[in-house]
Amino acid sequence: MPGGRLAPRTTPGVAGHEWETAVRERLARERLALPDTTQRTVVAGTPEEPARRVVSGVGRSQSVFGPYADLGMRLNVRFELKADHFKNLKCTPAERLLAFSGCNPGFPTITPNPQYQILTSGVVGQRLHINVDFDSQREFDANNNLQLWYEGLEDEMLRRVEAGNVTFQAPPSRFVSAAIPANNFGVQAIGQIGPLEIRGIYAQQKGNIVKDRIFTIGDVTTQPVDREVRDLDYEPGRFFFAIDPAGLPGFPAIDVLALGTAIPIPDSLRVGSLRVYRLRALAPTSTNNQNLGGVRAVACGAGAGVCPQRAGPFQWEILTEGKDYYVDPTGAWFALAQRTAQDDYLGISYVPAGQTGCTGPRACVGTFPTVANPDTAEVDTLRLVYDPRPAVTVASPSFRFEIRSAYRVGGSEVTRESVELSLLVNQRERSQTSSRTYLDLLGLALPTDVTRFDQFNRLFPRTRDPQQGAPLRDFFIVLPHLLPFADTTRLTATERNDSLYRTPRSLLSTQGPPSVFALRLHANVSASGDRGVLSLNSFQIREGSERLFLGTRQLVRDQDYTIDYATGQVQFKNPDSLLVGGGGPAQVRAQFEERAAFAVSPTAIYGASARYDLGTHGFVNLLGLFQKQQSAFTRPPLGFEPASSFIGSISTELKFQPAWLTRAVDALPGVRTGAPSFLNISAELAMSRPQPNAFGQAYIEEFEGEAGRFLALQENAWHWGSMPSSSRGVESFGIQPPPPASTSAISRR
């Protein structure tokens, strides 16, 4: 239409485009949507250049839900079908009765194996948001992410509804923030009514654990290690007495690290020269006897009588001091470089102090053999300090020679000065009767600080020990009592674990008592000589949850470092330039969330929080959280009882500008001020109500797993037997009497 209203050279295509634009703007104002279809626009040309067509909309990503959703999706599906046929050509009678033996092959077994991966993210109808990352082949279910949430407008009461992986954002608190669970799978809703904001959640806790660790990177990288051991986990087969500890004054309140100084040793028990002998257990299929060439001797337990506890005569291997074991300067006890096997025997022999041989006024303990006697008729004698036989009890003479008050911390990679220890009973560090810390009660605390571990005196070997404890290469916490967790003078009846010191080593893991004390250890260990690699010591780290700080600077992923979330390995991109500065080792702080791979007892949470906004005067927060943990067992075994806990708090932050306070200060003599006054009030009240066993009972043994009598079907478990003399009574069991012509029958061997 040349010469029209729009321009002298307006074409119908341009006019149509202008009309469509105006309509779209009007519809947008009315909050309607119109499909963005492909348009064809003809641009007016000049007389020298003809009009050309422009096609818009080509190449745009079309949503699978049409024009009403901005949602992209990537779906990978793989379907595998496997068929196998197993046939056993050599079947025994017992195998013919088994369903999967292959003796009765039928139709091939067809096994489908579908594999799929879904990755989608976007918005549906401007309100519904979707974020899904699911892979059926992932090793752990917790790695999959499913999120669906509705986003309301600012003037609506319902602000947000989430489903899938949700995180409960509790109000800031000084008391209950650490108890708020993360990475929950459930539903969460947020609403607002005027100045009141309400948040509620119902979900199952997936078990994300928040970690916070500090690494020191110098010539080598050191990292912290935390672990918890039980009072039952003493170091077995390493520490033994050479003298009879029952003869020491104050037994069993004996500190082995203070023998000869704070605790005197009677002259009759002083040791001059000590030798240790070991009898290795031989496996039935072993062809190598490591005891060959050793001394032929009989080991006897300490005590009155000819030989109250005897082992031998056997050939005993002679151990070498400084290579195989460490001897205390007093000679009263020794420690092996390697843990003795549970089936090995251990013996000792020593010459009394002040003598060069066994011909002095005091008799030797044993005959102190140094080499094997070529005359096999001559048998030496030793003192038996460890006997692995099942008949050994607490009354056996050798039982009291093993020291059960030493606990292993780690090897030479542990930084001694960084070792920290906490003793807990039911998660308590203090006794309920005396309010003293267990570290202080059991003699492990610093004299100046009862909450800190005295590593200088109680961590063995110490720097002042001969050759720093060589050949030992490990660090041990040694308590100043032979029965520390059964001390009646310091612990109440509910805190003691007497059975720990009465149960033989071979039965401690299967028939031992339950643990009472927990030893929580913390230490820095040397991790790697490569300062460019940092191991977070965790697996299955939640993607994007890590925060690495070099001093106060937060490092940027893919710019300063890369991370493998599956293995927890961090690789610095430029370690030489990044970690240099400050004139010493650099400290890197790592915060991250670790997924829990398995949950034996799923945890469900119900929570609600509210915030009332007081405007310029502050706010008031309310929090209530109920956690319930229950295993899938209908008869929960001991340790898996259903438990629950309730956490509640109320907190407030109030701010005022009282003019009367300014006037009161201004009224003071010599004071003239017009500056505004501020009054800030911060208060919080929190409560925790745990219920450790809501069921009220637990099952130790159901007595159902071994019900009935099982008969083996192997051919070698049966033999031919004679015919019973009478078949009387077998009819009641459904057994027909054998015919008279039968001369043999099968009977159970």
Give the strand pairing for 295-300 and 380-386: parallel
Dmax of the chain from CA atoms? 138
The pLDDT confidence band at residue 403, using thresholds 50, 70 and 90, is very high
Position 153 pLDDT exceeds 90: no
- Of 17-21, 294-298, 373-377, 418-422, the least confident: 373-377
**Tell me, what's the pLDDT at 632?**
65
Q: Can you give the residue ranges of every domain in the chain?
A: 12-60, 71-175, 227-233+408-523, 239-403, 715-748
Burial code (b: 16+ CB inside 10 Å, e: under 16) for 333-351 equals bbbbbeebeeebbbbbbbb
**Tell me, what's the pLDDT at 334?**
93
Angle among Cα 10, 15, 18 to the nearest 5 degrees reads 125
Give mean pLDDT, residues 674-685: 87
Helix (H) or strand (E) holding 270: none
Hey, how many other C-beta atoms are within 10 angstroms of the C-beta on 254? 22
The pLDDT confidence band at residue 27, using thresholds 50, 70 and 90, is confident
- The closest of 154, 180, 176, 177 to 167, measured between CA atoms, is 180
**Tell me, what's the pLDDT at 583?**
57
Q: What's the count of helices (H) and strands (E) in the chain, helices before strands?
A: 7, 35
pLDDT tens per residue, range 446-491 = 888 888 898 898 999 988 888 888 898 889 999 999 999 988 888 8
Q: DSSP string covering 302-320, please?
A: SSSSS-SSEEEEEEEEEP-
- The closest of 317, 303, 368, 370 to 346, measured between CA atoms, is 317
Task: Give bridge partners of residue 166 from the DSSP assignment.
Answer: 184
**Tell me, what's the pLDDT at 340?**
87
- 512 or 48, which is more confident? 512
In the predicted model, what is the mean pLDDT of the chain? 78
Tell me whether the omega of the peptide bond preceding residue 739 falls within 30 degrees of 0, making it cis: no
pLDDT tens per residue, range 210-246 = 666 777 776 677 777 888 888 888 999 899 999 888 8
Burial code (b: 16+ CB inside 10 Å, e: under 16) for 403-433 equals bbbbbbbbeeebebeebebbbebeeeebbee
Q: Please, are residues 353 and 331 in contact by the beta-carbon 8 Å criterion?
A: yes
- Of 82-96, 310-324, 408-422, the least confident: 82-96
pLDDT tens per residue, range 690-721 = 877 766 766 666 555 554 566 666 666 677 77
Give dist(CA 703, CA 621) in Å, integer. 52
pLDDT tens per residue, range 106-150 = 777 788 888 888 888 888 877 888 888 888 876 556 567 788 888
Give mean pLDDT, residues 53-80: 62
Position 309 pLDDT exceeds 90: no
**Tell me, what's the pLDDT at 335?**
92
Q: Where are the beta strands (DSSP E) in 636-717?
A: 643-656, 679-691
Q: Please, are residues 237 and 254 in contact by the beta-carbon 8 Å criterion?
A: no
State which amino acid sits at residue 706.
E
- Of 302-316, 390-404, 500-514, 705-719, the least confident: 705-719
- Would you report the helix, strand and coil content of the chain in percent, each value rounded to 5? 15, 40, 50
**Tell me, what's the pLDDT at 743?**
45
Helix (H) or strand (E) holding 12: helix 12-29
- Going 436 to 441 to 444 to 448, the CA torsion angle's sign is positive
Give mean pLDDT, residues 261-270: 86
Identify the top-confidence range among 83-97, 329-343, 691-705. 329-343
Q: Is 688 left (phi over 0), alpha (psi -120 to 50) or beta?
A: beta
Give dist(CA 258, CA 255) in Å, integer. 5
| pTM over cut 0.75 | no
Q: Please, are residues 365 and 401 in contact by the beta-carbon 8 Å criterion?
A: no
Position 629 pLDDT exceeds 70: yes
Using a pLDDT cut of 90, give the percent of the chain over it: 6
Q: Give the CA distances from residue 628 to residues 174, 177, 180, 427, 513, in Å, rounded to whole numbers and listed in that order.
A: 23, 18, 13, 19, 28
Position 67 pLDDT exceeds 70: no
Position 508 pLDDT exceeds 70: yes
Residue 276, token pair as written in the block: 């240790």
Using a pLDDT cut of 70, give the percent of the chain over it: 78
Hey, how many other C-beta atoms are within 10 angstroms of the C-beta on 500? 22
Hey, how many other C-beta atoms are within 10 angstroms of the C-beta on 577? 9
In three state form, how does the secondary structure of 605-638 look? EEEEEEEEECHHHEEEEEEEEEEEECCCCCCCEC
**Tell me, what's the pLDDT at 703?**
58
Q: Give the CA distances from residue 348 to residues 177, 226, 260, 299, 301, in Å, rounded to whole numbers and listed in that order.
A: 57, 37, 20, 8, 10
**Tell me, what's the pLDDT at 595?**
63
Listing from the earlier edge strand, what are the strands of the sheet with 239-241? 239-241, 333-336, 325-327
- 289 or 597, which is more confident? 289
Helix (H) or strand (E) holding 483: none
State which amino acid sits at residue 657.
Q
The pLDDT confidence band at residue 32, using thresholds 50, 70 and 90, is very low
Position 286 pLDDT exceeds 80: no
Give dist(CA 214, CA 358) in Å, integer. 58
Position 407 pLDDT exceeds 90: yes
The pLDDT confidence band at residue 50, using thresholds 50, 70 and 90, is very low
The pLDDT confidence band at residue 54, using thresholds 50, 70 and 90, is very low
Give dist(CA 388, CA 394) in Å, integer. 13
Give dist(CA 533, CA 563) in Å, integer. 10
Helix (H) or strand (E) holding 16: helix 12-29
Give mean pLDDT, residues 78-95: 82
Residue 258 sits at φ, ψ, to 5 deg, of -115, 10
Position 45 pLDDT exceeds 60: no
In three state form, how does the secondary structure of 170-222 look? CCCCCCCHHHCCEEEEEEEEEEEECCEEEEEEEEEEEEEEEEEEEEEECCCEE
- Of 401-410, 426-435, 716-725, the least confident: 716-725
Question: What does the CA dihedral 323, 328, 333, 335 come to, rounded to 10 degrees?
Answer: -30
- The closest of 442, 332, 319, 425 to 369, measured between CA atoms, is 319
Give mean pLDDT, residues 577-598: 69
Residues 6+ apart with CB under 8 A from 112: 79, 80, 81, 82
The pLDDT confidence band at residue 288, using thresholds 50, 70 and 90, is low
Give mean pLDDT, residues 313-318: 86
Position 598 pLDDT exceeds 80: no
Residues 6+ apart with CB under 8 A from 572: 531, 532, 533, 534, 560, 561, 578, 579
Q: Is 734 left (phi over 0), alpha (psi -120 to 50) or beta?
A: left
Give mean pLDDT, residues 393-413: 88
Give dist(CA 350, CA 381) in Å, integer. 11
Hey, how many other C-beta atoms are within 10 angstroms of the C-beta on 176? 19
**Tell me, what's the pLDDT at 51?**
42
